[in-house]
Amino acid sequence: MSAEDAIRRELVAAAHSAFARGLTHGSTGNISARVDGDRVLMTPTGSSLGSVTADSLSVLELSGRHLDGPPPTKESFLHLAVLRARPDAGAIVHTHSTHAAAVSCLADLDRADVLPPYTAYYAMRVGAMPLIPYFPPGDRGLGDAAEHLAVGHRALLLANHGPIVAASDVGAAMDAAEEIEENARLFFLLTGRRTRPLSPEQVRALAPSRR
Question: Can you give the CATH number for the domain in which 157 is found?
Answer: 3.40.225.10
Query: What is the C-alpha to C-alpha distance for residues 37 and 130, in angstroms, rounded to an integer?
Result: 27
Whether the predicted pLDDT of 208 surpasses 90: no
3-state SS assignment for residue 61: strand
As a whole-number percent, the residues of the chain with pLDDT over 70 amount to: 98
pLDDT level of residue 207 (50, 70, 90 thresholds) = low
The answer to the question of residue 7 being in a domain is: yes
Q: So what's the pLDDT on residue 209?
A: 47
Report helix, strand and coil shares of the chain as percent, to nearest 5.
40, 15, 45
The answer to the question of residue 198 being in a domain is: yes
Nearest Cα neighbor of 176 from 143, 128, 208, 113 is 128
The residue from 4, 61, 121, 178 that is catalytic is 121
Whether the predicted pLDDT of 6 surpasses 60: yes
Whether the predicted pLDDT of 146 surpasses 70: yes
The answer to the question of residue 110 being in a domain is: yes
Q: So what's the pLDDT on residue 178?
A: 97
The residue from 75, 147, 178, 181 that is catalytic is 75
Write down the mean pLDDT value for the chain.
Answer: 95
Average pLDDT score over residue span 21-37: 93
The answer to the question of residue 192 being in a domain is: yes
Beta-carbon contacts of 48 under 8 Å, excluding residues fewer than 6 positions away, are: 19, 24, 26, 27
Is 61 marked active-site? no
Whether the predicted pLDDT of 72 surpasses 80: yes
Whether the predicted pLDDT of 16 surpasses 90: yes
18-to-51, 52, 170, 196, 202 alpha-carbon distances in Å: 11, 11, 12, 30, 30
What pTM value is reported for the model? 0.94
The answer to the question of residue 211 being in a domain is: no
The answer to the question of residue 88 being in a domain is: yes
Domain containing 119: what range? 3-206
Average pLDDT score over residue span 198-208: 87
Q: So what's the pLDDT on residue 138?
A: 86
Q: So what's the pLDDT on residue 137?
A: 87
Whether the predicted pLDDT of 210 surpasses 50: no
Q: So what's the pLDDT on residue 77?
A: 97
pLDDT level of residue 171 (50, 70, 90 thresholds) = very high
Average pLDDT score over residue span 139-154: 97
Query: What is the C-alpha to C-alpha distance for residues 84 and 82, in angstroms, rounded to an integer?
Result: 5
- The edge-to-edge listing of strands for the beta sheet with 39-42 is 66-68, 58-61, 39-42, 30-34, 91-94, 162-167, 155-158, 131-132
Average pLDDT score over residue span 146-175: 98
Query: What is the C-alpha to C-alpha distance for residues 21 and 15, in angstroms, rounded to an integer?
Result: 10
Count of structural domains, the chain: 1
Is 122 marked active-site? no
The answer to the question of residue 80 being in a domain is: yes
The answer to the question of residue 82 being in a domain is: yes
Q: So what's the pLDDT on residue 31?
A: 98
Beta-carbon contacts of 139 under 8 Å, excluding residues fewer than 6 positions away, are: none
